[in-house]
Structure 1
Amino acid sequence: MAAELNQLCPRFEKAIELLSKRWTTLIVYRLLDGPRRFMDIEGSLSNLSGKVLSERLKELEEAGIVLRTVYPEKPVRIEYSLTDMGRGLAPLMDDIQGWATRWIKIEQEQS
């Protein structure tokens, strides 16, 4: 069991480090509905700059969570989608949504 914990903790820590970066989970959440273009993602998340979105998408692509597909059209079309690894986050996102619905209050609800 101790050997299992030694292997689990670094993986868990790495996963939390990746997913806890600002905007990362919201980007993944948006992509759960299917492929999206850069401007669609940026437009659906207010206050997210194009620079940060670009950085996060690159990080998620390098981690194997997001797939970047370039379509050789005029003009070139680029879409981002979740890989199998990324879609594997869907139950986690559902659990967080359920937890948030039950426990997290927003200002309008607190009045």
Structure 2
Amino acid sequence: MRAGQRDAGREELRCAGALVRVFEILGKRWNGVILATLKSGPASFSEVARSVAGISDSVLSDRLSELVRVGLVIRTVVDARPPAVSYGLTPAGDALVLVLDELAGWADEHLPDA
């Protein structure tokens, strides 16, 4: 194997590592749907729950916490009586939603309806 071939292999490994990181998030059920729900603007927990049919409150709470932790969603506490919490996309979340929209278009064109 020549040196150039070894370098090309290393580049592929870096790409695979990035995909692994992405699918650690998007591979979890509901994460992509939650992000797509928030593309129309910030929403309360209950608004997200109503928009994502079939998700339990505990799973939604876990998924939102994870999306906040990785920097795709921002959690904002609204100073009111009683206090309210809203969730919205960060710039990184907005950028990912654009990619999700492209994936949805690809799926409409290339994947059969389930």
What band does the TM-score fall into relative to the shorter chain?
Answer: 0.7 to 0.9
Q: Which has the larger radius of gyration?
A: 2
- Paired residues, what number? 107
**Offset of residue 94 of structure 1:** 1.5
> TM-score, normalising length from structure 2?
0.85
Cα distance in 2 for residues equivalent to 1:90 and 1:46: 19
Match of 1:82 among 66, 82, 89: 89
**Offset of residue 50 of structure 1:** 0.4
Q: Runs in 1 of length 4+ with deviation above 6 angstroms?
A: none
Match of 2:68 among 61, 71, 77: 61
Cα distance in 2 for residues equivalent to 1:28 and 1:19: 10
Cα distance in 1 for residues equivalent to 2:18 and 2:36: 21
Aligned residue in 2 for 1:52: 59
Cα distance in 1 for residues equivalent to 2:84 and 2:58: 19
> TM-score, normalising length from structure 1?
0.87
Structure 2: 5+ residue runs without aligned partners? Answer: 1-7
Residues 1-111 of structure 1: pairs in structure 2 closer than 5 A: 1-106=8-113
Cα distance in 2 for residues equivalent to 1:38 and 1:97: 24
